[in-house]
C-alpha cells in the first residue's frame, strides 16, 4: 500500500477516532476580582468576589426581566437573579467555580453570603458579588493557600488581569498574594486527563497539572 494513501486513510481515521474530551469554547467572559478576607485572629476567613459579565451575556441573563422606562430593573428581580445564580453555583459540580486549597486539600465553604447583582446601565453590564466564608477559618501558619477560580466546562472565561483584581483584606503583616494565570495544557496531559472518568479521583500528578488550568492566587504569609 503506498505510503501516501496510508497516511490519508490514517488521517481520516484519526479525525473520527475519539481521543480526548473537547474543550468547549467560552460564551461568557467575566472580569473577576477577588478579595481574600482575614478575620481578627489573622486567619483566612472568606473569599469575596465580584464577577463583571460581558455585555452580551449580561443581556442574555437579563432577558425576560421587566425593564423600567429609565432603563433600570427592579431591585427584587436582580436580587432573585443573584439568589438563583448563587444557588446554582453551589451545586457540587460547580463549587462556585472557586476552590481554596492548602497542601492539596480543599477547604470547605460555609453558606455563601451577600449575594448581589448590580446592573450598570451605562456599561450595559451585570455584575454578581458574593462572599464564600470558609467553614473553618484557616491560619496561615498551616501553609500557603491556593485559591483557584475556574469553570471546568469552559463556558465561562475568567479574567483576573485587571490591576487590583486580586487583593488581601485585613491580612497579617507580610502576607502576599500572587496571581498566576492559567497554563496551557500540554497534549500528553490532555490525553491522560481525558482517560480518567469524570467521577474518578485524579492521580496526584494529574491533579497538579489540572490545577494549573485555572486562575490561581497564591497566598503566602511569613
Partner 1 sequence: MSAPGRPKRASSTSRLACRSDSPGWGRSSRTVPSPGSSLGEAVAPRQGGTPLPAPVRRVSPWALGLALAVLAAWAGAAAAQGGHPFGQPEAAGWQPGGWLGRVFGQIALWQSHFYRQLTGAVHAWRQDGHAAWMLIGLSFAYGIFHALGPGHGKAVISAYVLANRQTARNGAVLALLSALVQALAAIALVTVAAGVLNLTGAAMNRATLWLEIGSYALVTALGLWLVWTRIGQPLCAGLGRRRAGAGPGGAAPLPMGFAALSASGGNGGGPGKGDGAGAGGSYLGRARLACPAPSGGLWACGCRQAHFAPPALVAGRLGAGRAWTAVLAVGLRPCSGALIVLVFALSQGLYAAGVVSALAMGLGTGLTVAVLAALALAASRAALGLGAKAAWGARLYRIVEGLAALAVLALGLALLGGALAMAGLAGGN
Minimum distance from residue 147 beta carbon to partner 1 (Å): 19
Binding track over 134-153 against partner 1, x by CB under 8 A: -------------------x
- Cα separation, 168 vs 175, in Å, equals 8
In this complex, which beta carbon is closest to partner 1, that of residue 11 or of residue 103? 11
117, 81 in Cβ contact below 8 A? yes
Nine-digit cell at 32? 473577576
| Binding of residue 196 to partner 1 (CB under 8 A) | no
30, 157 in Cβ contact below 8 A? yes
Q: CB-based contacts of 37: which residues, under 8 Å, 6+ apart?
A: 44, 45, 46, 47, 48, 131, 169, 170
- Cα separation, 69 vs 73, in Å, equals 9
Q: Which stretch binds partner 1 (CB under 8 A): 1-9, 39-47, 133-141, 160-168?
A: 1-9
| Binding of residue 69 to partner 1 (CB under 8 A) | no
- Torsion over CA: 150, 151, 155, 156 (sign): negative
| Binding of residue 60 to partner 1 (CB under 8 A) | yes
| Binding of residue 208 to partner 1 (CB under 8 A) | no
| Binding of residue 65 to partner 1 (CB under 8 A) | yes
Would you give the DSSP letter of residue 107?
A: P
Minimum distance from residue 39 beta carbon to partner 1 (Å): 28
Q: Which residues bind partner 1 (CB under 8 A)?
A: 1, 4-5, 8-9, 11-29, 54-57, 59-65, 84-85, 88-89, 91-94, 153-157, 184, 187, 190-191, 194, 198-199
Amino acid at each position: 500500500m503506498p505510503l501516501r494513501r496510508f497516511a490519508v486513510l490514517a488521517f481520516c481515521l484519526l479525525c473520527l477516532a475519539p481521543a480526548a474530551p473537547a474543550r468547549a469554547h467560552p460564551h461568557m467572559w467575566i472580569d473577576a476580582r477577588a478579595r481574600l478576607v482575614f478575620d481578627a485572629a489573622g486567619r483566612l476567613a472568606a473569599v469575596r468576589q465580584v464577577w463583571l459579565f460581558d455585555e452580551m451575556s449580561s443581556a442574555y441573563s437579563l432577558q425576560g426581566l421587566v425593564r423600567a422606562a429609565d432603563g433600570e430593573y427592579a431591585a427584587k428581580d436582580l436580587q432573585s437573579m443573584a439568589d438563583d445564580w448563587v444557588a446554582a453555583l453551589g451545586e457540587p459540580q460547580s463549587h462556585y467555580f472557586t476552590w481554596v486549597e492548602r497542601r492539596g486539600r480543599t477547604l470547605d465553604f460555609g453558606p455563601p453570603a451577600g449575594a448581589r447583582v448590580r446592573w450598570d446601565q451605562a456599561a450595559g453590564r451585570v455584575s454578581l458579588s458574593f462572599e464564600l466564608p470558609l467553614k473553618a477559618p484557616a491560619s496561615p501558619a498551616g501553609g500557603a493557600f491556593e485559591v483557584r477560580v475556574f469553570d471546568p466546562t469552559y463556558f465561562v472565561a475568567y479574567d483576573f488581569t485587571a490591576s487590583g483584581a486580586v487583593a488581601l483584606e485585613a491580612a497579617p503583616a507580610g502576607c502576599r498574594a500572587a496571581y498566576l494565570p492559567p497554563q496551557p495544557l500540554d497534549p500528553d496531559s490532555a490525553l491522560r486527563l481525558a482517560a480518567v472518568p469524570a467521577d474518578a479521583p485524579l492521580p496526584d500528578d494529574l491533579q497538579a497539572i489540572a490545577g494549573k488550568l485555572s486562575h490561581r492566587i497564591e497566598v503566602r504569609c511569613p
